[in-house]
């Protein structure tokens, strides 16, 4: 594991511990959401400034730093992905994303799933065995993509509604589901770390039209994505069988 991957693992895990504490002590859902987003952002920003003072940070919860567009190294973080699920009792589908992007490519990343006590990284992705039975397709529980019926039909899949892009991507990596598809809106911080870990674990990752996912762009809007077991990508992307 590189020093950057180890740092991503440490920061995602520690931010997760902070969020678990907020969850225990803050029963009101609106206050829990506000405190979770703000305190997780404050902690991550402070830690990155301390450990990697020269690297700009692109975060859901911070003002955009134009210096990131000329920097070779940029951290892309989502301090709390699945804020809605974090605010609801007993849900485990929320995450912390920490990714290092170098020249458009994510080279080190961690996704913490604090309520499950797990942190996955690009350094040591878990073994991905194919789930048994019918194809399982993870989708947003509150904002499922418009063309989800087409994708579900193409895969002959059962839908598995879940919160958080990180939680859904890690469900593919861990072999709980076969695929995760999203459309209609998302930002780079929602997918940078999850996509890098899925790729390191051997999964297909792309836009829904098959185009590559590119990070640290001037506009961080990255509205759709597909993460799936490699053998299923052709069916979703409309490629003839036998084409990789
Ligand atoms: N249409 C949309 N526009 C903007 N962001 C969206 C979106 N649909 C999903 N997202 C973001 O993608 C993440 C995962 O969403 P979902 O749980 O619905 O799958 C959430 O991140 P945050 O919780 O960090 O805001 C959510 O805000
Ligand atoms: Mg998010």
Determine the distance separating the centroid of ligand 2 and the alpha carbon of 36, expressed in angstroms.
Answer: 13
Residues 113, 144 share a domain: no
Determine the distance separating the centroid of ligand 2 and the alpha carbon of 41, expressed in angstroms.
Answer: 12
Q: Is 170 helix (H, G, I), strand (E, B) or coil?
A: helix
Surrounding residues of ion ligand 2, Cβ less than 5 A: 78, 81, 190
Tokens of 118: 């797990």
Among the candidates 73, 93, 121, a domain finishes at: 121
Binding residues for Mg(2+): 60, 78, 80-81, 190
- Whether 188 lines ligand 1, by a CB cut-off of 6 Å, is no
State pLDDT tens for residues 130-179: 888 999 999 999 987 778 889 999 999 999 999 999 999 999 999 999 99
Q: Is 80 helix (H, G, I), strand (E, B) or coil?
A: strand
Residues 142, 86 share a domain: no
Q: Do the beta carbons of residue 169 and residue 111 sit within 8 Å?
A: yes
Among the candidates 75, 90, 121, a domain finishes at: 121
What is the Cα–Cα distance from 22 to 103, expressed in whole angstroms? 35
Residues 168, 113 share a domain: no
Predicted TM-score of the model (pTM): 0.95
Domain around 78: 3-121
- Whether 35 lines ligand 1, by a CB cut-off of 6 Å, is no
Residues 40, 106 share a domain: yes
Residues 112, 23 share a domain: yes
Closest-approaching ligand to the CA atom of 83: 1
Residue 87 belongs to a domain with what CATH number? 3.30.540.10
State pLDDT tens for residues 24-44: 999 999 999 999 999 999 999
Residue 243 has pLDDT above 70, yes or no: no
Among the candidates 121, 154, 171, a domain finishes at: 121
Residues 208, 104 share a domain: no
Residue 242 has pLDDT above 90, yes or no: no
Structural domain count, the chain? 2
Within a domain: 243:
no
What is the Cα–Cα distance from 204 to 212, expressed in whole angstroms? 10
What is the Cα–Cα distance from 57 to 79, expressed in whole angstroms? 12
């Amino acid at each position: 594991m590189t020093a950057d991957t180890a740092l991503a693992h440490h920061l995602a895990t520690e931010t997760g511990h902070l969020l678990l504490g907020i969850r225990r002590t803050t029963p009101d859902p609106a206050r829990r959401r506000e405190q979770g987003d703000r305190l997780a952002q404050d902690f991550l920003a402070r830690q990155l400034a301390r450990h990697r003072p020269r690297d700009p940070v692109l975060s859901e919860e911070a003002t955009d730093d134009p210096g990131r567009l000329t920097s070779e190294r940029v951290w892309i973080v989502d301090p709390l992905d699945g804020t809605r699920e974090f605010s609801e009792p007993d849900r485990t589908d929320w995450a912390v994303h920490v990714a290092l992007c170098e020249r458009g490519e994510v080279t080190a990343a961690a996704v913490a799933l604090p309520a499950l006590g797990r942190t996955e990284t690009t350094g040591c992705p878990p073994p991905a065995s194919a789930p048994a039975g019918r194809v399982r397709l993870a989708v947003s529980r509150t904002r499922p993509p418009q063309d989800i019926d087409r994708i579900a039909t193409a895969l002959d899949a059962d839908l598995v509604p879940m919160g958080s892009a990180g939680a859904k991507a890690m469900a593919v990596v861990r072999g709980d589901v076969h695929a995760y598809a999203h459309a209609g809106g998302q930002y780079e911080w929602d997918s940078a770390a999850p996509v890098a870990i899925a790729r390191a674990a051997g999964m297909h990752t792309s836009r829904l039209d098959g185009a590559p996912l590119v990070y640290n762009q001037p506009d961080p809007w990255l509205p759709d994505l597909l993460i799936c077991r490699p053998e299923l990508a052709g069916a979703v992307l409309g490629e003839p069988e036998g084409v990789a």
